[in-house]
Amino acid sequence: MTSSRNVASPQTVAQKILARASGNDAVAPNQIVEVTPDFCYSHDYAVFAIDAFAQMGATDVVAPERLAICLDHGFPVNTARDANNHMRVRDFARKQKFRAFFEGGTGIAHQVMLEKGLVIPGALVLASDSHTPSGGAVGALAIGIGETELAFVWAFGRTWLKVPETIRVTLSGALPQGIQAKDATLSLVKRLGVLGGAYKAIEYHGPGASALTVSERFTFCNMSAEIGAKCSMFPHDAVTEAFVRGRAQFAYEPVHADAGAIYCEEIALDLAQIEPMVVLPGREDRGVPVSEAAGRKIDQVFIGSCTNARADDLALAARILKGRHVHPQVRLLVVPASRQVEIDAARSGDLAVLLEAGAILMPSGCAVCAGTHQGVLGDGEVCLSTSNRNMPGRMGNNKAEIMLCSPATAAASAVTGVVTDAREFLE
Amino acid sequence: MEAEIIAGSVTVLGDFISADAVLPARYSFLAPADMVQHVLTEVSMEANAGVRTRTIIVAGEAFGYGTGRESPARALRAAGVRAIVGGPFSRMFFRNAINNGVLVIDCPELAACGVADGEQLQIDPTGGVIRWKDRTFRTMPAPEIIRRIIASGSLIEYGRALLQADRGASGS
């Protein structure tokens, strides 16, 4: 399937990592290559991969030292069926000697894999979840696959991928006070549409990119799923190095794009021009400046998900909620992205501020986002959420509506009961 | 082994139907046969009846976007769908459908030309040719790996055959 060839042309990050993982000197966009991933992970839905693995007649996973599972979608469980599924996942990970198994409550898999140094710079990472591209925050080429395909990789240690073209996004400027990476990301989703990056890789460059923290980079890479991208990466720099040093569990080699690499599209985004964004119900590319959504009534606020529930997000929410109280007709659900985030927020005092303001603290995990575990909405209710998706029915009821925003906008709106510009609270 | 020509009647579905709308997450843990009654009901009961009685979907823009859960693809396969044409499609839904033995072909111009529910389509995966009435649409032929998976019936069947071949080769 693969062929070694000498292509002299300069390569993007995705080309370089896929070339290495497929044993080629170089690869070209749209070429189909057979790859050996460096690391794979999954969550509760690993149970489907376990079924598929058995149905294939496979008995032993290839390279268990490169595999991990983190339960995050529905924990603690609600039903005996889910409990039995979790038992099967725990049992499989133990018997197959997976490198790591993270019990429910550790956090959201994408977050935990970065915190634990399992997703590292330059690695080809495959995981059975659409928000896998989050790993690009540390320069991994992280790509989502299905559950059956994960089983195939467990059984064979390899799979096929099409080499993507790459969009180059150049970030300049700095985010103004009260405006977050989420607002810039939602602007980009609005501009490109839900399949604007389909089948493509995204590389972020420019002075605006190097000024962003790993948490902010995570938000950008995470929501590349909402433009249909295959993967999304920030280049390795001092920020990446400071995050992964002493944390990485494997040797890593940062990968940089060659000068003169070919990009299918070039996009420039000035972070200084970004306004707070609110995504209107129904689709992720329906973002509007907060002024156009201000005053819309909300019933539930969700500060959580792999997109936006890290320590910096909770700190900004706490700054806004300090000395204030959640509106009596609003439920504010706070779900830290991981136990580590929860510990950090507890130590800093931010967690106490949120609780004093009336926030409801839920166990770390995916929680409300996918509509399968707690926080489901009633008919006609509106949730303002820091998560990544708002298509009809996403939170478990297609008669409810979801709007997306930053943690700052979510916190300010929780106080007033209507969509609110957080800058009013930060002056 | 080559993927065979697929012929059948179509269900026409609109633009921006997310994978969550094809099958909500709360039904993910049902047995595939039990998913069938729920597939596409978030869109309409007609859509549900359509895919349960006709083997090909003509899908609009971004069909299956969003979640990478495999259960929406599993549910369509269980309903009897064998091919989905139109799009463009999101990459995870594309792969999940293929891995469940449902051929997916990007052909947005077909979705835009007025195909109606119940009309006949003929799809040749190897040549990338789709026929509707007297019209012929030429698309990118499915790559060899995709044709092999489809010809095997699913990625599970493809994997099972590979493992058996490996074991045969090693003499165990």
Residues A323/A356, Cβ–Cβ less than 8 Å: no
CB of B82 within 8 A of CB of B8?
yes
pLDDT classification of A350: cutoffs 50, 70, 90: very high
The CATH number, out of the four listed (3.60.20.10, 3.40.1060.10, 3.40.50.300, 3.40.109.10), of the domain defined by the range A166-242+258-273: 3.40.1060.10
Spatial separation of the C-alpha atoms in residues A411 and A90, rounded to whole Å? 36
For domain A277-425, give its CATH number from 3.90.79.10, 3.40.50.720, 3.30.499.10, 3.30.450.40.
3.30.499.10
Mean pLDDT to the nearest integer, A100-110: 98
Q: Which amino acid is located at B154 in the chain? A: S
CB A99 within 8 A of CB A64: yes
Chain B environment of A370 (Cβ under 8 Å): 25, 67
> CB neighbours of A162 closer than 8 A, spacing ≥ 6?
A30, A31, A32, A33, A199, B143
B25/A370 Cβ within 8 A: yes
When the pLDDT of each residue in chain A is averaged and rounded to a whole number, the result is: 96
Contact residues, chain A, for B155 at CB < 8 Å: 52, 148-149, 152
Residue with tokens 């119900």: A281
Range A13-162 classified under CATH 3.30.67.10: no
Rg of chain B taking only CA atoms, in angstroms: 16
Residues B148-160, mean pLDDT to the nearest whole number: 97
Of B82, B80, B87, B122, nearest to B98 by C-alpha is B82
Among B30, B61, B95, B102, most A C-beta atoms within 10 A, so best to mutate, is B95
Q: Which residue has the higher pLDDT, A101 or A393?
A: A101
Residue A417: predicted pLDDT: 98
Q: For residue B96, give how far its alpha carbon lies from the nearest alpha carbon of chain A (Å).
A: 6
Contact B65 A57 (CB under 8 A): no
Mutation to test the A interface, candidates B94, B156, B157, most A Cβ within 10 Å: B156
Pairing of strands A166-172, A201-205: parallel
d(C-alpha A116, C-alpha A399), whole Å: 39
Indicate the pLDDT class of residue B3, thresholds 50, 70 and 90: confident
How many Cα neighbours within 13 Å face the side chain of A275?
13
CATH 3.30.499.10: which residues of chain A?
13-162, 277-425
What's the pTM? 0.96
- Whether B171 has a pLDDT exceeding 90, the answer reads no
Instruction: Supply the angle between the helices B71-79 and B91-99 in degrees, to the nearest 10.
Output: 50
The per-residue pLDDT for A4 is 46
Assess B170–A contact: CB distance below 8 Å, yes or no: no
Rg (CA), chain A: 21
Structural domains of chain B, ranges and CATH numbers in brackets: 6-170 (3.20.19.10)
Q: What are phi and psi of A203, to 5 degrees?
A: -115, 130
Give the residue from B53, B81, B80, B67 showing the smallest Cα distance to B17.
B67
Please report the pLDDT score of residue B64 as a whole number: 96
Kindly report the nearest CA distance between residue B160 and chain A, in angstroms.
4
| Contacts of A98-103 spanning 24+ positions with Cβ under 8 A | A98/A61, A98/A64, A98/A67, A98/A68, A98/A69, A99/A64, A99/A65, A99/A66, A99/A67, A99/A68, A99/A249, A100/A68, A100/A69, A100/A70, A101/A68, A101/A69, A101/A70, A102/A68, A102/A69, A102/A70, A102/A71, A103/A71
Where do you find CATH 3.40.1060.10 in chain A? Answer: 166-242+258-273
pLDDT over threshold 50, residue A3: no
Q: Do A228 and B90 touch (CB under 8 A)?
A: yes
Query: With 50 as the cut, is the pLDDT of residue A11 above it?
Result: yes
pLDDT of residue A344: 98
Pairwise CA distance, residues B146 & B126, whole Å: 10
Cα B122 to Cα A280, A318, B81, B94, distances in angstroms = 40, 59, 14, 20
Mean pLDDT of A323-344: 98
Question: Once rounded to an integer, what is the mean pLDDT over residues A121-141?
Answer: 98
Helices marked H in A204-356: 207-210, 214-222, 238-244, 290-293, 311-321, 339-348, 350-356
Whether B95 sits inside 8 A of A199 (CB atoms) is: no
- What are the residues facing A349 on neighbouring strands? none
